[in-house]
C-alpha cells in the first residue's frame, strides 16, 4: 500500500460577495489523491469549479494579510495588510514551491517581505493541507517547507502549517494564481503569525470551511503506543468544537480518547511484512460545518527489515544533549555508504532537517573488512590508532574531538540490494563524557525479543499498599532500557515513579473498584512488549464469611444431611417390610 501523505481540502466552501454585497454560491469539494493522473484530473475539476462559481463576482485579488499574536517576533503583534498600492507583489516558482515577494512602503518605510511555500520532497504543490512545516530551506525531505520573513526579521527555526487553496502555472512555469493561509511559530513559541496570501486569486480572503488535519503518516513497531494528533485542525472563521477519530482500515485497534484532538492506540501485533492502520479524523466547527481527512500508520512486525536510529543520551552527553532519539523514515531519508577514505566501512547518514541529521561511521581495525561481531576500544574514525576500530557518531553541528567507545555489528551485507547494516554502539566524547548508547539499522532486523511480565496481587483490601513488580521482564538478545506503567481503568490512584520496574500505590477505599494497569517495556533496539494486570479491591470479590458464619453453615449442612439419611433409611425399611409381607402371602 502507498503510505504517502494524501493532501486534502475537505468541503472547501466559500461565500463570495458581488459588488452589491450579495452572497455567491458554494465552491468546490476536494478529497485526497495519491497519483499524478488523479492530481491532474482533480486540479482541472477544481479550477473549472472555481472559475464557474466565481465568474459572476469577476474579481482577482492580490493582497497579503497578517495577524500577529502578541509575542510573535516576525509580525510584532500587529495586524496589517499589503496590497499593490503599497508596492509590487510578485509570485515566482521556486523549485517545487512558490515564493511571494513584496517590496514597497509600509507606514512610509521601505520594507521587503518574503513568503515561501514548498511541498514535501518529490511531491507536487497541489491544493491541500501541509502540516508540521519546517523552515525553508532547512526542512527535512519529509516535511513541507515554510518561511515568512520581512522588515529585517526572520526565524532561526520554525514550526507551522499552511493550507493551499490554489496554485496555477502557465506552460513556462510562471505563477498565474496562488491562494493560501499560513500559520508560523518562531523558535517553537506559542505566539503565531497568521497570514492570508492571495495572488491574482478568486479565493476569498476568509473561507468558511474547517480544516481537518490528522497529522503526518507514522511508522512504528507492533505494540508501540501511537499518538494521533489532530490539534493542527482549524477553522478560518470560527473554531473547532468537536473531534471524532475512527478507524477505516487495517487490523482492529482500540482508540483511547477518540473524541479529543489527541487520541492514542496500541499498535496491534502484525504478520511479517507489517500492516497499515488508517485512521479518520472528523472535525466540526461552531457553525456545524464538518471536515474529514485520514492518516496512515504503518506497523512493522518486530522482525521486519527497516531503517532507523534510536539512542539514549544521558545528561552531559554532548552529541545527544541528554535527549532520546527515535529517527524513522517519517523523519527523513537514510543512506548507506560502504567505502570511506578508501577504507571499507559502514557510513550511515540520516537526513532530517538541519537540526536533526546524523552520520554514523564504523570501521574495522587496520582497514580490514567489517564483519559481524564485537569491536572494543574504538577511537574516532578516521583518526584511530593502528589496531583500533574506528567509530564516529555526529551531526546537527556537533561532534567529538576525540572519543572512546565500542560497537557490535549485528549484520553487514554490502552486496544485498539494498545493502544491509545493523549495529549497537557506545560512544563517549573526549574519552570521559557520559556515554551515548544506541542502535542503528539500515534495511536491517532488530535482534531483540522483549517480554513484559508482571507479578503482584490480583486483589487487595481498600487502603492496602500494593506493589506491582516488572523486574522479571526480559529481552532475549537485547537489554531492556525503559519501563512505563500506565493505569488503564478504575479509580485514579497516586503511585510511585511509573518509569521504574516496580510500581506502588494504595488501593482506594471509597468504593468497590477494579484497577487495571499496563506495563510497557522497551529494549535497546526500540522493540516493545506490553503486559496487563487487574487488581480488585476486597469488596469487588465475593465476601469472605466470618468464623461464626462458617460454623453455622456447617451445622445447617450437617442437619440437612442427617435428615436426608434418615429419610432414605426409612424408605429402605418400608421396602424390606413390604417384601417380607409378600413372601408370607405367597406361602399361604
List C-alpha distances in Å: 179 to 12, 52, 282.
13, 17, 24
By the 10 Å C-beta count (0-12 exposed, 13-18 middle, 19+ buried), 516 is classed as middle
Domains of the chain as residue ranges with CATH:
36-201 (no CATH), 218-300 (2.60.40.10), 306-444 (no CATH), 449-540 (2.60.40.10)
Q: pLDDT for 548-584, tens place per residue?
A: 455 555 556 555 555 555 544 554 444 444 444 444 4
pLDDT of residue 537: 83
3-state DSSP call for residue 161? strand
pLDDT for position 474: 96
User: What φ, ψ does residue 202 adopt, rounded to 5°?
Assistant: -95, 0
Q: Which long-range contacts (CB under 8 A, 24 or more apart) does 150-154 make?
A: 150/74, 150/102, 150/111, 150/112, 150/113, 150/114, 151/76, 151/106, 151/111, 151/112, 151/113, 153/73, 153/74, 153/76, 154/74
The pLDDT, as a whole number, for residue 105 is 87
User: For residue 556, what are the contacts with CB-CB under 8 A and spacing of at least 6?
Assistant: none
Q: What is the pLDDT of residue 20?
A: 33
Report pLDDT for 133: 98
Residue 369 makes CB contacts below 8 A (sequence gap 6+) with 344
Backbone φ, ψ for residue 551 (5° rounding): -60, -45
Residue pair 140/159 in contact (Cβ under 8 Å)? The answer is no
Residues 6 or more apart whose CB falls under 8 angstroms from that of 323 comprise 313
How much is the pLDDT for 24?
Answer: 32
Radius of gyration over alpha carbons of the chain, in Å?
A: 34
In this structure, are residues 505 and 491 in contact, taking their beta carbons and an 8 Å threshold? no
Which ranges in 117-221 belong to alpha helices (H)? none
Mean pLDDT by 10 residues, the chain (588 residues): 36 31 30 35 36 47 97 96 96 95 90 97 95 97 97 96 97 96 96 98 92 96 97 95 98 98 98 98 96 98 96 96 95 95 94 96 97 97 97 97 97 94 97 92 95 95 94 94 96 95 91 88 96 83 47 57 52 46 43
What pLDDT score was predicted for residue 207?
Answer: 86
Give the pLDDT of residue 309.
Answer: 97
Please enumerate in sequence order all residues whose Cβ is within 8 A of that of 521, keeping only pairs 6 or more positions apart, or say none.
450, 451, 452, 470, 473, 475, 480, 482, 483, 484, 528, 529, 530
Q: Rounded to whole angstroms, how far apart are CA atoms 387 and 102?
A: 61
Amino acid at each position: 500500500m502507498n503510505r504517502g501523505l494524501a493532501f486534502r481540502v475537505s468541503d472547501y466552501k466559500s461565500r463570495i460577495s458581488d459588488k452589491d454585497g450579495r452572497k455567491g454560491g458554494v465552491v468546490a469539494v476536494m478529497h485526497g489523491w495519491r497519483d499524478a493522473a488523479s492530481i491532474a484530473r482533480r486540479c482541472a475539476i477544481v479550477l473549472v469549479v472555481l472559475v464557474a462559481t466565481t465568474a459572476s463576482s469577476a474579481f482577482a485579488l492580490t493582497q497579503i494579510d497578517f495577524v500577529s499574536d502578541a509575542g510573535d517576533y516576525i509580525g510584532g503583534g500587529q495586524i496589517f495588510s499589503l496590497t499593490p498600492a503599497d508596492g509590487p507583489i510578485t509570485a515566482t516558482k521556486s523549485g517545487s514551491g512558490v515564493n511571494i515577494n513584496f517590496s514597497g512602503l509600509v507606514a512610509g518605510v521601505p520594507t521587503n517581505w518574503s513568503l515561501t511555500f514548498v511541498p514535501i520532497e518529490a511531491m507536487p504543490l497541489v491544493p491541500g493541507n501541509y502540516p508540521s512545516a519546517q523552515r525553508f530551506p532547512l526542512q527535512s525531505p519529509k516535511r513541507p517547507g515554510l518561511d515568512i520573513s520581512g522588515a529585517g526579521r526572520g526565524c532561526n527555526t520554525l514550526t507551522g502549517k499552511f493550507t493551499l487553496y490554489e496554485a496555477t502555472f502557465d506552460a513556462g512555469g510562471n505563477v498565474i494564481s496562488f491562494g493560501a493561509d499560513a500559520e508560523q511559530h518562531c523558535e517553537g513559541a506559542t505566539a503565531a503569525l497568521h497570514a492570508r496570501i492571495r495572488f491574482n486569486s478568486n479565493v476569498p480572503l476568509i473561507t468558511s470551511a474547517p480544516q481537518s488535519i490528522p497529522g503526518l503518516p507514522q511508522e512504528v513497531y507492533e505494540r508501540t503506543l501511537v499518538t494521533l494528533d489532530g490539534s493542527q485542525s482549524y477553522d478560518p472563521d470560527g473554531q473547532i468544537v468537536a473531534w471524532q477519530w475512527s478507524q477505516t482500515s487495517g487490523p482492529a485497534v482500540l482508540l483511547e480518547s477518540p473524541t479529543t484532538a489527541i487520541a492514542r492506540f496500541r499498535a496491534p501485533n502484525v504478520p511479517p511484512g507489517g500492516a497499515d492502520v488508517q485512521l479518520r479524523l472528523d472535525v466540526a466547527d461552531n457553525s456545524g460545518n464538518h471536515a474529514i481527512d485520514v492518516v496512515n500508520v504503518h506497523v512493522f512486525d518486530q522482525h521486519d527489515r527497516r531503517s532507523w536510529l534510536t539512542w539514549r543520551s544521558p545528561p552531559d552527553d554532548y552529541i545527544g544533549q541528554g535527549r532520546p532519539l527515535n529517527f524513522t523514515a517519517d523523519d527523513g531519508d537514510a543512506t548507506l555508504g560502504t567505502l570511506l577514505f578508501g577504507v571499507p566501512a559502514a557510513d550511515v547518514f540520516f537526513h532530517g532537517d538541519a537540526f536533526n541529521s546524523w552520520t554514523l561511521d564504523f570501521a574495522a581495525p587496520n582497514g580490514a573488512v567489517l564483519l559481524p561481531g564485537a569491536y572494543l576500544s574504538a577511537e574516532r574514525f578516521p583518526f584511530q590508532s593502528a589496531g583500533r576500530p574506528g567509530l564516529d557518531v555526529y551531526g546537527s553541528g556537533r561532534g567529538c574531538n576525540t572519543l572512546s567507545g565500542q560497537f557490535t555489528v549485528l549484520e553487514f551485507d554490502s552486496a544485498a540490494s539494498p545493502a544491509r547494516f545493523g549495529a549497537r554502539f557506545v560512544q563517549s566524547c573526549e574519552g570521559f563524557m557520559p556515554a551515548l548508547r544506541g542502535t542503528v539499522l539500515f534495511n536491517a532486523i532488530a535482534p531483540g525479543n522483549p517480554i513484559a511480565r508482571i507479578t503482584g496481587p490480583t486483589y487487595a483490601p481498600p487502603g492496602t499498599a500494593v506493589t506491582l513488580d516488572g523486574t522479571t521482564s526480559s529481552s532475549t538478545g537485547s537489554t531492556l532500557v525503559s519501563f512505563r506503567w500506565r493505569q488503564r481503568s478504575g479509580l485514579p490512584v497516586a503511585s510511585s515513579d511509573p518509569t521504574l520496574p516496580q510500581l506502588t500505590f494504595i488501593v482506594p477505599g471509597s468504593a468497590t473498584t477494579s484497577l487495571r494497569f499496563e506495563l510497557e517495556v522497551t529494549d535497546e533496539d526500540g522493540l516493545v512488549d506490553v503486559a496487563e494486570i487487574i487488581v480488585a479491591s476486597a469488596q469487588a470479590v465475593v465476601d469472605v464469611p466470618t468464623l461464626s458464619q462458617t460454623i453455622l453453615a456447617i451445622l445447617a449442612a450437617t442437619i440437612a444431611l442427617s435428615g436426608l439419611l434418615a429419610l432414605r433409611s426409612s424408605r429402605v425399611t418400608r421396602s424390606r417390610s413390604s417384601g417380607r409381607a409378600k413372601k408370607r402371602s405367597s406361602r399361604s
